[in-house]
């Protein structure tokens, strides 16, 4: 049974035979990790795993929501009377948050909606299922109510909802990649100015694989905030020493080398070193990819992981096990992607060897960690949008 038939069958009380369908992808970041809140450049791409919404109009002004992935939670009903965050609303807070934000941008509700959401992204895996859901809701509300808002404005709105309504203090990378991506490209984004360049993701003989550690990311949020604070401390110290910068990524590695001794605390100095060197690596990596120099691109991906592991300290045994195993079996570049502390690894491996390599990495991971990792070949995707039944 295909997705369409299954969703309609399971939700026959909510959906008729002709729902509007929307899709928002997940994302992986190729390089440029933890720099989006330091004014740096990131290089993510949207992926074919993501979140779907099946939507029909209601005759009243209520919103009835079901998640196919969390059917046990049951139907959530949202009305415009109570749009503040409510714990018991569970995943539907992403809906109430986006609705509230768009109402303040002139969204006029003419009818209610039945919405069934279905996700193919593994949850809490660092592939941005939250940002995917936010942008999904953004595009569906824009379409249903003919809201005059640009895709970039939806991206900024989603970030605002994530930061202020959901309460996660992330940077703009995920929402931007999910909103603005183009199939077959990665986005080279300057997170300070939001200027960007779509770079063809041409990998020649190589395939990009995503491997999910399946580790529960328990401490991710507090550690993420701790890193942000450490970066702010580093920025303050450098500015007190005369750097005169708004963001750490305004410094390159050479400029930092001259100033680094001003940071006496070894931990803060290593955090800043990661940010500054990652900024340089990202620029070099994009140049390497553009000139089809995949070996250099892979080397920089490897260096990025080592820096995230040793200096930024956001990796973990599970991520390192996958990275080491991929490298041992011939990957030319493997690194953790996203915030870290669990989640996913990306690896560039030779296409003709890919099944062989994946099997070896799978066994090694299972033997060392005691449970399975999941593997996905990575296909790029267009950003969040309305789709047809045939595109499912």
For the segment 36-65, give every residue that binds ligand GLA (CB under 6 A): 36-37
- CB of 242 vs ligand GLA, minimal distance in Å: 28
Residue 230 binding ligand GLA, by CB under 6 A? no
User: What are the tokens at 370?
Assistant: 């005691």
Residue 31 binding ligand GLA, by CB under 6 A? no
Residue 171 binding ligand GLA, by CB under 6 A? yes
Residue 19 or residue 39: which is nearer to ligand GLA going by CB?
39
**Tokens 């909606």, located at residue:** 113
Residue 41 or residue 354: which is nearer to ligand GLA going by CB?
41
- CB of 109 vs ligand GLA, minimal distance in Å: 30
What residues contact 291, with CB distance under 8 A and at least 6 apart?
none
Identify the DSSP state of 164: I
Say if residue 299 is exposed, middle or buried (CB neighbours under 10 Å; 0-12, 13-18, 19+): middle
Number of residues that bind ligand GLA (CB under 6 A): 11
Residues in the chain: 392
Identify the DSSP state of 122: P
- CB of 3 vs ligand GLA, minimal distance in Å: 27
Q: Which of 36, 174, 280, 311 is catalytic?
A: 174
- CB of 296 vs ligand GLA, minimal distance in Å: 21
In angstroms, rounded to a whole number, what is the distance separating the alpha carbons of residues 294 and 291? 8
Q: Residue 174 catalytic?
A: yes
Residue 19 binding ligand GLA, by CB under 6 A? no
Residue 37 or residue 94: which is nearer to ligand GLA going by CB?
37
Residue (of 200, 208, 189, 273) closest to 234 by Cα position: 273
Helix, strand or coil for residue 253?
Answer: helix
- CB of 177 vs ligand GLA, minimal distance in Å: 10
- CB of 39 vs ligand GLA, minimal distance in Å: 12
Residue 33 binding ligand GLA, by CB under 6 A? yes
Residue 101 or residue 314: which is nearer to ligand GLA going by CB?
314
Residue 297 or residue 312: which is nearer to ligand GLA going by CB?
312
In this chain, which residue has its C-beta nearest to ligand GLA? 170
Residues facing 346 on adjacent strands: 210, 335
For the segment 106-165, give every residue that binds ligand GLA (CB under 6 A): none
Which of residues 11, 26, 34, 256 is near ligand GLA by CB under 6 A? 34
Q: Is 217 left (phi over 0), alpha (psi -120 to 50) or beta?
A: beta
Are 72 and 20 in contact by the 8 Å Cβ rule? The answer is no
Segment interacting with ligand GLA (CB under 6 A) among 142-150, 167-175, 236-244, 248-256? 167-175
> Which own/partner pairs from 261-270 qualify as long-range (CB within 8 Å, at least 24 positions apart)?
262/237, 262/238, 263/234, 263/237, 263/238, 265/233, 267/230, 268/230, 268/233, 268/234, 268/237, 269/234, 270/310, 270/311, 270/312, 270/313
Residue 173 binding ligand GLA, by CB under 6 A? yes
E-strand ranges in the chain read 20-29, 41-42, 44-58, 63-67, 76-78, 112-119, 185-190, 196-200, 206-212, 333-337, 344-350, 374-377, 385-387
Residue 37 or residue 256: which is nearer to ligand GLA going by CB?
37
For the segment 330-349, give every residue that binds ligand GLA (CB under 6 A): 338-339
Segment interacting with ligand GLA (CB under 6 A) among 49-57, 69-77, 168-176, 379-387? 168-176
Which residues are known to be catalytic? 174
The footprint of ligand GLA (CB under 6 A) covers 29, 33-34, 36-37, 170-171, 173-174, 338-339
């Amino acid at each position: 049974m295909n997705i369409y038939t299954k969703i309609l069958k399971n939700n026959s009380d909510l959906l008729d035979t002709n729902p509007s369908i929307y899709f928002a992808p997940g994302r992986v970041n190729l390089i440029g990790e933890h720099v989006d809140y330091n004014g740096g450049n990131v290089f993510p791409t949207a992926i074919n795993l993501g979140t779907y919404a099946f939507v029909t109009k209601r005759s009243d002004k209520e919103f009835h929501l079901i998640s196919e992935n969390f059917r046990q939670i049951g139907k959530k009903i949202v009305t415009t009377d109570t749009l503040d965050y409510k714990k018991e609303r569970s995943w539907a807070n992403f809906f109430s948050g986006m609705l509230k934000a768009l109402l303040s941008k002139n969204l006029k509700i003419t009818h209610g909606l039945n919405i069934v959401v279905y996700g193919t992204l593994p949850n809490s895996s660092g592939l941005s299922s939250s940002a995917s859901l936010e942008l999904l809701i953004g595009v569906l509300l824009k379409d249903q109510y003919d809201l005059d808002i640009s895709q970039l404005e939806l991206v900024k709105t989603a970030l605002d909802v994530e930061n202020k309504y959901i309460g996660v203090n992330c940077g703009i990378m995920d929402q931007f990649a999910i909103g603005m991506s183009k199939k077959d490209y990665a986005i080279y984004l300057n997170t300070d100015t939001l200027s960007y360049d779509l770079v063809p993701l041409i990998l020649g003989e190589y395939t990009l694989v995503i491997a999910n550690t399946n580790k529960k990311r328990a401490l991710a949020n507090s550690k993420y905030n701790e890193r942000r604070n450490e970066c702010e401390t580093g920025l303050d110290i450098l500015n007190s020493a005369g750097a005169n910068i708004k963001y750490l990524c305004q410094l390159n590695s050479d400029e930092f080398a001259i100033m680094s001794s001003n940071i006496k605390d070894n931990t803060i100095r290593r955090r800043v070193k990661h940010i500054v060197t990652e900024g340089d690596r990202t620029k070099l990596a994009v140049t390497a990819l553009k000139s089809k120099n995949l070996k250099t691109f892979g080397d920089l991906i490897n260096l990025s992981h080592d820096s995230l592991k040793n200096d930024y300290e956001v990796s973990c045994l599970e991520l390192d096990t996958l990275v080491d195993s991929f490298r041992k079996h011939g990957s030319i570049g493997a690194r953790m992607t996203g915030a870290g502390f669990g989640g996913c690894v990306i690896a560039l491996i030779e296409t003709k060897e890919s099944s062989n390599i994946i099997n070896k990495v799978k066994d090694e991971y299972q033997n060392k960690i005691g449970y399975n990792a999941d593997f996905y070949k990575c296909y790029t995707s267009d950003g969040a949008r309305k789709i047809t039944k045939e595109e499912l």
